[in-house]
A and B are shown apart, each in its own frame.
Chain A
Amino acid sequence: DGGITQSPKYLFRKEGQNVTLSCEQNLNHDAMYWYRQDPGQGLRLIYYSQIVNDFQKGDIAEGYSVSREKKESFPLTVTSAQKNPTAFYLCASSIDMDRGRDEQYFGPGTRLTVT
Protein backbone atom coordinates (compact mmCIF):
# COMPACT_ATOMS: atom_id res chain seq x y z
CA ASP A 1 0.00 0.00 0.00
CA GLY A 2 1.24 3.47 -0.86
CA GLY A 3 1.44 6.05 1.85
CA ILE A 4 3.49 8.21 4.14
CA THR A 5 5.23 6.89 7.20
CA GLN A 6 6.52 8.93 10.09
CA SER A 7 8.60 7.52 12.87
CA PRO A 8 8.56 7.34 15.74
CA LYS A 9 4.98 8.10 16.81
CA TYR A 10 6.17 9.48 20.16
CA LEU A 11 9.56 11.06 20.81
CA PHE A 12 11.01 12.39 24.04
CA ARG A 13 14.13 14.55 24.26
CA LYS A 14 15.96 16.67 26.77
CA GLU A 15 16.22 20.39 26.21
CA GLY A 16 19.34 21.34 24.26
CA GLN A 17 19.42 18.21 22.13
CA ASN A 18 18.83 18.15 18.40
CA VAL A 19 16.34 15.56 17.18
CA THR A 20 15.49 14.30 13.69
CA LEU A 21 12.00 13.26 12.68
CA SER A 22 11.66 10.80 9.84
CA CYS A 23 9.26 11.09 6.90
CA GLU A 24 9.15 8.58 4.05
CA GLN A 25 6.68 8.30 1.17
CA ASN A 26 6.25 5.65 -1.51
CA LEU A 27 3.66 7.58 -3.53
CA ASN A 28 6.25 8.83 -6.04
CA HIS A 29 5.28 12.40 -5.13
CA ASP A 30 7.57 15.28 -6.01
CA ALA A 31 6.46 17.71 -3.29
CA MET A 32 6.80 17.19 0.45
CA TYR A 33 5.92 19.35 3.46
CA TRP A 34 6.41 19.65 7.20
CA TYR A 35 3.80 21.18 9.50
CA ARG A 36 3.63 21.86 13.17
CA GLN A 37 0.33 21.55 15.02
CA ASP A 38 -0.34 23.12 18.41
CA PRO A 39 -3.68 23.00 20.22
CA GLY A 40 -6.12 25.57 18.86
CA GLN A 41 -3.69 26.90 16.24
CA GLY A 42 -4.29 24.71 13.25
CA LEU A 43 -1.33 23.75 11.08
CA ARG A 44 1.67 25.95 10.46
CA LEU A 45 4.08 25.31 7.60
CA ILE A 46 7.71 24.79 8.58
CA TYR A 47 9.43 23.79 5.31
CA TYR A 48 8.44 22.44 1.94
CA SER A 49 10.24 20.88 -0.98
CA GLN A 50 9.02 20.87 -4.57
CA ILE A 51 11.73 18.59 -5.88
CA VAL A 52 14.81 16.67 -4.80
CA ASN A 53 17.71 18.83 -3.58
CA ASP A 54 15.49 21.90 -3.24
CA PHE A 55 13.44 23.22 -0.32
CA GLN A 56 11.95 26.50 0.90
CA LYS A 57 11.18 27.97 4.29
CA GLY A 58 7.60 28.14 5.41
CA ASP A 59 6.11 30.44 8.01
CA ILE A 60 7.97 29.15 11.08
CA ALA A 61 11.32 27.77 9.84
CA GLU A 62 13.47 29.25 12.62
CA GLY A 63 15.06 26.51 14.72
CA TYR A 64 14.37 23.79 12.14
CA SER A 65 16.35 22.31 9.26
CA VAL A 66 15.54 19.83 6.49
CA SER A 67 17.19 17.94 3.67
CA ARG A 68 15.83 16.37 0.48
CA GLU A 69 18.50 14.07 -0.87
CA LYS A 70 16.02 11.43 -2.09
CA LYS A 71 12.59 11.81 -3.60
CA GLU A 72 10.96 9.58 -1.00
CA SER A 73 12.55 11.08 2.11
CA PHE A 74 12.24 14.49 3.80
CA PRO A 75 13.66 14.41 7.35
CA LEU A 76 13.13 17.32 9.73
CA THR A 77 15.68 18.25 12.39
CA VAL A 78 14.47 20.18 15.40
CA THR A 79 17.49 22.02 16.71
CA SER A 80 18.23 23.36 20.16
CA ALA A 81 17.57 26.84 18.74
CA GLN A 82 13.84 26.09 18.53
CA LYS A 83 12.45 27.79 21.65
CA ASN A 84 9.29 25.76 22.07
CA PRO A 85 9.71 22.44 20.25
CA THR A 86 7.04 20.40 22.03
CA ALA A 87 4.31 19.86 19.43
CA PHE A 88 2.70 17.42 17.02
CA TYR A 89 4.62 17.29 13.73
CA LEU A 90 2.95 16.28 10.49
CA CYS A 91 4.59 15.40 7.19
CA ALA A 92 2.68 15.54 3.92
CA SER A 93 3.25 15.04 0.21
CA SER A 94 1.54 15.91 -3.08
CA ILE A 95 2.10 14.86 -6.68
CA ASP A 96 3.53 18.31 -7.27
CA MET A 97 2.34 21.88 -6.69
CA ASP A 98 0.25 22.47 -9.79
CA ARG A 99 -3.55 22.83 -9.79
CA GLY A 100 -5.28 19.49 -9.66
CA ARG A 101 -2.20 17.73 -8.34
CA ASP A 102 -1.69 19.76 -5.18
CA GLU A 103 -3.91 17.88 -2.76
CA GLN A 104 -1.77 16.81 0.14
CA TYR A 105 -1.62 13.41 1.78
CA PHE A 106 -0.57 13.28 5.40
CA GLY A 107 1.40 10.90 7.54
CA PRO A 108 0.23 9.81 11.02
CA GLY A 109 2.39 12.40 12.78
CA THR A 110 5.10 12.41 15.46
CA ARG A 111 4.40 13.84 18.90
CA LEU A 112 7.61 15.40 20.21
CA THR A 113 7.98 16.22 23.89
CA VAL A 114 11.02 18.16 25.06
CA THR A 115 11.66 18.53 28.79
Chain B
Amino acid sequence: GDSVTQMEGPVTLSEEAFLTINCTYTATGYPSLFWYVQYPGEGLQLLLKATKADDKGSNKGFEATYRKETTSFHLEKGSVQVSDSAVYFCALSDLRGSTLGRLYFGRGTQLTVWP
Protein backbone atom coordinates (compact mmCIF):
# COMPACT_ATOMS: atom_id res chain seq x y z
CA GLY B 1 0.00 0.00 0.00
CA ASP B 2 0.88 3.66 -0.08
CA SER B 3 3.29 4.92 2.53
CA VAL B 4 5.76 7.66 3.37
CA THR B 5 9.07 7.25 5.19
CA GLN B 6 10.77 10.25 6.76
CA MET B 7 14.16 10.53 8.35
CA GLU B 8 13.86 10.18 12.08
CA GLY B 9 14.55 13.10 14.32
CA PRO B 10 15.14 15.01 16.27
CA VAL B 11 17.27 17.23 14.08
CA THR B 12 19.21 19.95 15.89
CA LEU B 13 20.94 22.73 13.96
CA SER B 14 22.56 26.07 14.58
CA GLU B 15 21.01 29.16 13.04
CA GLU B 16 22.03 29.67 9.37
CA ALA B 17 22.89 25.99 8.90
CA PHE B 18 21.71 24.00 5.87
CA LEU B 19 18.72 21.75 6.41
CA THR B 20 17.79 18.51 4.69
CA ILE B 21 14.95 16.26 5.84
CA ASN B 22 14.70 13.11 3.77
CA CYS B 23 11.38 11.71 2.57
CA THR B 24 10.77 8.69 0.37
CA TYR B 25 7.46 7.23 -0.68
CA THR B 26 5.77 4.10 -1.96
CA ALA B 27 2.70 4.48 -4.12
CA THR B 28 0.87 2.43 -6.71
CA GLY B 29 -0.16 5.42 -8.80
CA TYR B 30 1.07 8.95 -9.44
CA PRO B 31 0.91 10.79 -6.15
CA SER B 32 0.87 14.43 -5.30
CA LEU B 33 3.46 15.17 -2.61
CA PHE B 34 3.30 17.64 0.28
CA TRP B 35 5.30 19.01 3.16
CA TYR B 36 3.39 20.25 6.19
CA VAL B 37 4.74 22.05 9.26
CA GLN B 38 3.36 21.93 12.80
CA TYR B 39 4.31 24.46 15.47
CA PRO B 40 3.87 23.47 19.13
CA GLY B 41 0.25 23.05 20.15
CA GLU B 42 -1.11 23.95 16.72
CA GLY B 43 -2.57 22.26 13.67
CA LEU B 44 -0.65 21.53 10.49
CA GLN B 45 0.09 24.17 7.86
CA LEU B 46 0.81 23.36 4.25
CA LEU B 47 4.42 24.36 3.53
CA LEU B 48 4.78 23.32 -0.11
CA LYS B 49 3.57 20.79 -2.65
CA ALA B 50 4.36 19.17 -6.01
CA THR B 51 1.87 17.39 -8.22
CA LYS B 52 4.04 15.72 -10.86
CA ALA B 53 7.54 14.41 -11.46
CA ASP B 54 10.34 17.02 -11.57
CA ASP B 55 8.10 19.70 -10.07
CA LYS B 56 9.77 21.82 -7.41
CA GLY B 57 7.66 23.16 -4.59
CA SER B 58 8.96 26.18 -2.68
CA ASN B 59 7.82 28.48 0.10
CA LYS B 60 9.50 30.64 2.79
CA GLY B 61 12.96 29.52 1.65
CA PHE B 62 12.09 25.83 1.78
CA GLU B 63 12.27 23.69 -1.35
CA ALA B 64 11.52 20.12 -2.35
CA THR B 65 11.75 18.42 -5.76
CA TYR B 66 9.52 15.52 -6.80
CA ARG B 67 11.95 12.77 -7.92
CA LYS B 68 10.06 9.88 -9.48
CA GLU B 69 13.21 7.87 -10.26
CA THR B 70 14.24 7.80 -6.59
CA THR B 71 10.67 8.10 -5.20
CA SER B 72 11.81 10.97 -3.02
CA PHE B 73 10.71 14.45 -1.97
CA HIS B 74 13.46 15.74 0.32
CA LEU B 75 12.92 19.06 2.10
CA GLU B 76 15.78 21.59 2.03
CA LYS B 77 16.49 25.07 3.28
CA GLY B 78 19.74 26.92 2.78
CA SER B 79 19.80 28.86 6.04
CA VAL B 80 17.51 27.94 8.92
CA GLN B 81 16.25 30.34 11.57
CA VAL B 82 15.18 29.81 15.16
CA SER B 83 11.59 30.40 14.02
CA ASP B 84 11.80 27.29 11.79
CA SER B 85 11.80 25.08 14.87
CA ALA B 86 8.77 22.82 14.42
CA VAL B 87 7.72 19.33 13.37
CA TYR B 88 7.76 18.67 9.62
CA PHE B 89 5.55 16.07 7.95
CA CYS B 90 5.90 14.62 4.47
CA ALA B 91 2.66 13.35 2.90
CA LEU B 92 1.34 11.91 -0.33
CA SER B 93 -2.05 11.84 -1.99
CA ASP B 94 -2.56 8.99 -4.44
CA LEU B 95 -5.43 9.61 -6.79
CA ARG B 96 -5.34 6.32 -8.63
CA GLY B 97 -5.95 3.91 -5.81
CA SER B 98 -9.17 2.81 -4.19
CA THR B 99 -8.61 5.33 -1.41
CA LEU B 100 -9.10 8.30 -3.67
CA GLY B 101 -7.50 11.52 -2.53
CA ARG B 102 -6.69 10.61 1.07
CA LEU B 103 -3.33 11.69 2.50
CA TYR B 104 -0.70 9.34 3.87
CA PHE B 105 1.64 11.00 6.37
CA GLY B 106 5.14 10.24 7.51
CA ARG B 107 5.82 10.15 11.25
CA GLY B 108 7.17 13.67 11.35
CA THR B 109 10.64 15.08 12.00
CA GLN B 110 11.26 17.41 14.93
CA LEU B 111 13.58 20.29 14.01
CA THR B 112 15.18 22.47 16.68
CA VAL B 113 17.28 25.47 15.67
CA TRP B 114 19.58 27.10 18.24
CA PRO B 115 20.69 30.75 18.01
B43 in contact (CB, < 8 A): yes
Residues 20-44 of chain A, each 1 if its beta carbon lies under 8 Å from chain B, else 0:
0000000000010100000011110
A67 in contact (CB, < 8 A): no
- In the assembled complex, 25 residue pairs joining A and B whose CB atoms fall closer than 8 Å, in A order, are A4-B43, A31-B101, A33-B102, A33-B103, A40-B107, A42-B105, A43-B105, A45-B103, A58-B102, A90-B44, A92-B43, A92-B44, A97-B95, A98-B95, A98-B101, A99-B95, A100-B32, A100-B51, A102-B93, A102-B101, A103-B34, A103-B46, A106-B43, A106-B45, A107-B43
* A45-69, CB < 8 A from B: 45, 48, 50, 58
B residues sitting closer than 8 Å to A (CB atoms) are: 32, 34, 36, 41-46, 49, 51, 89, 93, 95, 100-103, 105-108
Chain A residues touching B, range: 20 to 34
A103:B49 contact, CB within 8 angstroms: yes
A residues sitting closer than 8 Å to B (CB atoms) are: 4, 6, 31, 33, 40-43, 45, 48, 50, 58, 90, 92, 94, 96-100, 102-109
A48 and B102 in contact, given A100-B51, A102-B95, A105-B46 (Cβ under 8 angstroms) = yes
CB-contact partner of B102 in A90, A97, A100, under 8 A = A97
